[in-house]
Amino acid sequence: MSPSVPYHLELTEEPAAFLAAAGSHLAADPVLTTVIATVTERIAAADERGVARGQHPCWWAVVRDEAGAVVGVAMRTAPFEPYPLYVLPMPDEAAVTLARLVHERGEPLHGVNGALPAARRVAEEAARLAGGEVRVHEHLRLFELGELAVPPSPPGRLRLATANDLDRALAWFRAFGLAAAEQAGRDEPHAMPDLTADDMLLRLEQEVVWLWEDERGEPVHLTAANPPANGVTRIGPVYTPVRHRGRGFASAAVADVSRQYVERGVRCCLFTDQANPTSNRIYQALGYEAVVDMANLVLTTPGPA
């Protein structure tokens, strides 16, 4: 760390304490910080309901400059392998310090996700300390809706999913990771939490899952979102089974969900895999505009000699 620009890192395992420290920082750029804001609020709500946390690491980091201002945030809360650290923009020196802090805690780090270049800086330092290497698993891009362009509507209608749709919604959430990887030409599925039936029931109660029904009333597509945080909702996953693709269901559903949020005064954002030309084309045609490039990075360490 440069002695002329000292940074102080604060770690906490309490989401409420993190939000108290970094809430203004998150609210200042609510699109960029959407993942940390929504995940933190979800964990805080689960804590209040008495839901036990898993055995994986679960903590948040706040980076302050010499004057005490928050200049960066990160979290390690992912309940799925490789339990990646999620990093938002911060000074290079702070990113290096964060990697060293994780190393000093004795936590193996096999993945770093988040905004570039900070996420890569953390990953490179963590790999150096472990004697490993960094490779890109996914190149992602965060988009925000500008002026919504409503596409032609295919036959059918969009409706909120209900408890009666639990099994289908849960299966399609789980299928999304594999489908996203296949469309991007990867063998490894997109990493996602393994939602339980209770997790899905909560999302259905929150009214953040929609199904498109075709003209016969058969569900043929799912679009979901996250409850808004700081006036921003993040749309996804967006999933259409193979036999129903190519008929415009995804475009129509995302447009309709986006419209509903816009009419409520909520900003909309979403992520795309840069290797998936279909999703990038669809969302840009709807009026989504690129905000920042991100990446999911994997850290590999040498095996035993």
Domain-embedded: residue 205: yes
Please indicate whether residue 115 or residue 179 has the higher confidence score (pLDDT): 115
pLDDT at position 193 is 72
Residue type, 85: L
Residue 63 inside a domain? The answer is: yes
Average confidence (pLDDT) over 50-63? 93
Whether 156 and 170 map to the same domain: the answer is: yes
Do 114 and 244 share a domain, yes or no? Answer: no
Q: pLDDT tens digits, residue range 245-291?
A: 999 999 999 999 999 999 999 999 999 999 888 889 999 999 999 99
155 and 225 part of one domain: yes
Looking at the fold, whether 18 and 100 belong to one and the same domain comes out as yes
Mean pLDDT of 14-27: 97
- Assess if residue 78 is contained within a domain: yes
- Say yes or no: 159 and 132 in one domain: no
Q: Are residues 12 and 112 in the same domain?
A: yes
The pair of three-digit structure tokens given for residue 122, joined into one six-digit string: 């953390």
- CA-CA-CA-CA torsion for 174, 189, 207, 54, nearest 10 degrees? 80
Residues 157 and 132 in one domain: no
Q: What's the total number of domains in the chain?
A: 2
CATH of the domain at 19: 3.40.630
Query: Which band of pLDDT confidence, cut at 50, 70 and 90, is reported for residue 184?
Result: low
Amino acid at 282: I
For the chain, state the CA radius of gyration: 20
Dig out the tokens for 275 from the structure.
């290797």
What is the domain range of residue 87? 8-141+295-300
Read off the CATH number of the domain in which 177 is found: 3.40.630.30
Query: Is 2 within the bounds of a domain?
Result: no
Q: Are residues 195 and 124 in the same domain?
A: no
| Residue 42 within a domain | yes
Residue at 124 is within a domain: yes
In a domain, 165, yes or no: yes
- Pair (54, 166) in one structural domain: no
* Per-residue confidence (pLDDT) for residue 275, from 0 to 100: 87
305 in a structural domain = no
pLDDT of residue 304: 47
107 and 151 co-located in one domain:
no
Domain check: are 128 and 185 in the same one?
Answer: no
Q: What is the DSSP string of the chain?
A: --TTS--EEEEES-HHHHHHHHHHHHHHSTTTTHHHHHHHHHHHHHHHHTPPP-SS--EEEEEE-TTS-EEEEEEE---STT--EEE----HHHHHHHHHHHHHTT----EEEEETTHHHHHHHHHHHHHT-EEEEEEEEEEEEE-S--PPPPPSSEEEE--GGGHHHHHHHHHHHHHHHHHHTT-SSPPP-----HHHHHHHHHTT-EEEEE-TTS-EEEEEEE---BTTEEEEEEEE--GGGTTSSHHHHHHHHHHHHHHHTT-EEEEEEETT-HHHHHHHHHHTEEEEEEEEEEEEE-----
Same domain, 105 and 64: yes
